[in-house]
């Protein structure tokens, strides 16, 4: 339960002072022995803790998922496989799983989505990473526009979507092979671009290293680069930028 929610319930008289005190006295993390869940992360950063599912034992994943869900009423996990989805679905029938992005989640349906982030891919093989970025941003309350398969080998496809891309508060550019898409987009917009190299490509792409180096060495300005296949990191950062843009425009309107 969030601090603001506790204070609102206290103000409304639906929670006693003793109950509120009990919630606020809880330590900022919950020690489960094998894991220390950061229960105050959302209070500090505005983002609740997310589960990286890959490599976790069934028992650990299930218990962590359960505790985060009990605390926030929703939970988000990345890099989950079908077995882990089936494991969670036995206890949480409402859990959603996307086999393309490998995201598993329970999400509130009344969530407001604000601002505008464009997630752009060079090819369809990059969509799995792009969906990790897009769904991460959406989970954290961002409005996302998906623009897929507009790589530089057919650059007219990108130009046909330029109006939509230029209207975004932030652009996530996802590309494998030589990773040129981020540089092209960076030269066409006045907003931050988050470049995501993917491990898509033939041998000399070196599992995404070529795209990573191209993006880091881009001569276009305003480009930040995350790690290879790190859609989650891009979606998170895009949400931070989007929130700043929305809050900045709101404050400007009040002057």
pLDDT at site 46: 73
Same domain? For 142 and 212 the reply is yes
pLDDT at site 248: 77
Among 75, 31, 77, residue whose Cα is nearest residue 54: 77
Q: Is the pLDDT of residue 206 over 90?
A: yes
Which among 106, 139, 165 is the end of a domain? 106
pLDDT at site 11: 86
The average pLDDT across 136-151 equals 96
Which among 90, 106, 122 is the end of a domain? 106
pLDDT at site 107: 93
- Are 122 and 97 in contact by the 8 Å Cβ rule? The answer is no
Same domain? For 24 and 138 the reply is no
Q: Is residue 254 situated within a structural domain?
A: no
Same domain? For 87 and 197 the reply is no
Same domain? For 167 and 228 the reply is yes
Q: Is the pLDDT of residue 240 over 90?
A: yes
Q: What's the total number of domains in the chain?
A: 2
Same domain? For 20 and 50 the reply is yes
Same domain? For 12 and 121 the reply is no
Which among 106, 139, 160 is the end of a domain? 106
pLDDT one-digit tens code per residue, 25-73? 555 765 566 666 666 666 676 777 889 999 999 999 999 999 889 888 8
Same domain? For 7 and 70 the reply is yes
Binned at pLDDT 50, 70 and 90, residue 160 comes out as very high
pLDDT at site 118: 98
Same domain? For 45 and 147 the reply is no
pTM: 0.84
Instruction: Please give the residue range of the domain that contains residue 163.
Output: 114-248
Lowest mean pLDDT among 8-22, 78-92, 175-189, 207-221: 8-22
């Amino acid at each position: 339960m969030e601090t603001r929610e506790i204070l609102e319930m206290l103000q409304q008289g639906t929670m006693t002072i003793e109950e509120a005190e009990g919630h606020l006295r809880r330590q900022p993390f919950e020690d489960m022995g094998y894991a220390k869940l950061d229960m105050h992360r959302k209070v500090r950063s505005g983002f609740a803790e997310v589960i990286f599912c890959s490599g976790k034992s069934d028992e650990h994943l299930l218990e962590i998922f359960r505790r985060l869900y009990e605390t926030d009423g929703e939970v988000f996990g990345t890099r989950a496989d079908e077995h882990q989805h089936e494991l969670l679905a036995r206890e949480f029938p409402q859990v959603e799983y996307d086999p393309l992005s490998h995201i598993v989640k329970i999400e509130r349906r009344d969530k407001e989505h604000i601002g505008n982030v464009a997630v752009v891919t060079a090819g369809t093989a990059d969509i799995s990473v792009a969906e990790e970025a897009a769904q991460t941003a959406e989970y954290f309350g961002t409005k996302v526009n998906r623009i897929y398969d507009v790589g530089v080998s057919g650059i007219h496809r990108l130009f046909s979507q330029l109006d939509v891309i230029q209207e975004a508060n932030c652009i996530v550019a996802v590309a494998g092979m030589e990773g040129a898409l981020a540089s092209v987009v960076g030269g066409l917009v006045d907003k931050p671009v988050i470049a995501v190299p993917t491990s898509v490509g033939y041998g000399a792409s070196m599992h995404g290293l070529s795209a990573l180096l191209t993006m880091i060495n881009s001569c276009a300005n305003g480009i930040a680069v995350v790690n290879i296949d790190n859609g989650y990191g891009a979606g998170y950062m895009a949400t931070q930028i989007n929130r700043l843009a929305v809050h900045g425009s709101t404050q400007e309107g009040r002057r």
